[in-house]
Amino acid sequence: MFITKFEEELGSEYITQGYIIRPVADKEALNWIRTQFVNLVTEALEITDNPTPEELLNQLHQRVSVADLNAFRLKIIRGFNAIEGFREKYYQVAKPYLETLVGNELAMQLRVNLSIQFPDDTSSLLPVHADTWAGDSPYEVVVWLPLVNCYGTKAMYLLPPNKAEDLNKNFAESAGKNSEELYLSISDDVKWLDVNYGEVLVFDQALPHGNRVNTESETRWSMNCRFKGVFTPYGDKKLGEFFEPITLKAATKTGMSYKLPAI
């Protein structure tokens, strides 16, 4: 295979672990993204006390009630997805890792998602699941980007590939279990992924993952967005409906427009 040592090592780590965690490839893009969030939150809450970005985001639970959290989150999602260039900046933070793990002709999810998880809040949980169970393509990866340091139960967990394979082989035995029972059956095997601000996580969404109650003292802020090779198989989420091409190359463009001469 004609790949560099960097590509070989990164690919091997991803296949073995089901994820990679690396410094963001473009720190200026990350800082720009967080500045947009600070501006949106400051405007939405009419904040005048000028907290640092870390204070504002980590302590959001002191400013927004649990009852208002989902409406607030949706407002922020609409806000940043409407900002011109936002998705391009998001792509830039993981570009070399995506090119190595996925390819250089990519399709990107149309909207970036956001998770906000308050301390001790049971209303923002993501039960154990694999995205492929709901019809996503196994050719997709998730780029998971924190806006604050995410550690312990403030982070997310992932079931490693070897354990996921065991689960899949015996999945019929879990068919009658609810999500909590399923989590408890694998809880000793899941790996919690600590990801600091300034780092990016790329993981295999075909592996079971989720979160639990955040028992840390700070609010979690993390974004997630799916990427895949343009020409890899699609699941229920189609090109044009859920994904759009972002890095088509010249030969692909000319090939797509080519027509045989008329006879």
CA–CA distance, 69 with 44 (Å, rounded to integer): 12
**What is the end-to-end Cα distance of the chain in Å, rounded?**
42
Whole-number Å distance between alpha carbons of 1 and 263: 42
Q: Give me the pLDDT at residue 175, please.
A: 66
The CA-atom distances, in angstroms, between 149 and each of 114, 116, 182, 197 are 15, 13, 28, 5
Query: Tokens for 226?
Result: 């799916």
What angle is formed at CA 14 by the lines to CA 171 and CA 105, rounded to 5 degrees? 105
Give pLDDT tens digits for 115-164: 999 999 998 899 999 999 999 999 999 999 999 999 999 999 999 999 99
CA 118 to chain centre: 18
pLDDT digits (tens, 9 = 90+) for 200-259: 999 999 999 999 999 999 999 999 999 999 999 999 999 999 999 999 999 999 999 999
Q: DSSP alpha helices (H): ranges in the chain?
A: 5-17, 27-45, 53-58, 66-81, 86-101, 161-169, 179-186, 250-257
| pLDDT for the residue 2 | 87
- Give 153-206 pLDDT, tens digit per residue: 999 999 999 999 999 888 877 767 888 999 999 999 999 999 999 999 999 999
**Burial 140-163, CB ≥16 within 10 A → b, else e:** bbbbbbbbbbbbebbbbbbbbbeb
For residue 237, the tally of other CB atoms under 10 A from its CB is 19
Residue 77's pLDDT is: 97
Tokens 């859920």, located at residue: 242
Residues 6+ apart with CB under 8 A from 42: 56
The pair of three-digit structure tokens given for residue 196, joined into one six-digit string: 């600091």
The topology (CATH level 3) of 5-248 is: Jelly Rolls (2.60.120)
Q: What is the pLDDT of residue 177?
A: 80
Q: What angle do CA 116, 36, 125 make, to 5 degrees?
A: 10
| pLDDT tens by residue, 54-112 | 999 999 999 999 999 999 999 999 999 999 999 999 999 999 999 999 999 999 999 99
Between CA 130 and CA 205 the distance in angstroms is 6
Three-class secondary structure of residue 119 per DSSP: coil
Tokens of residue 185, six digits: 């059956």
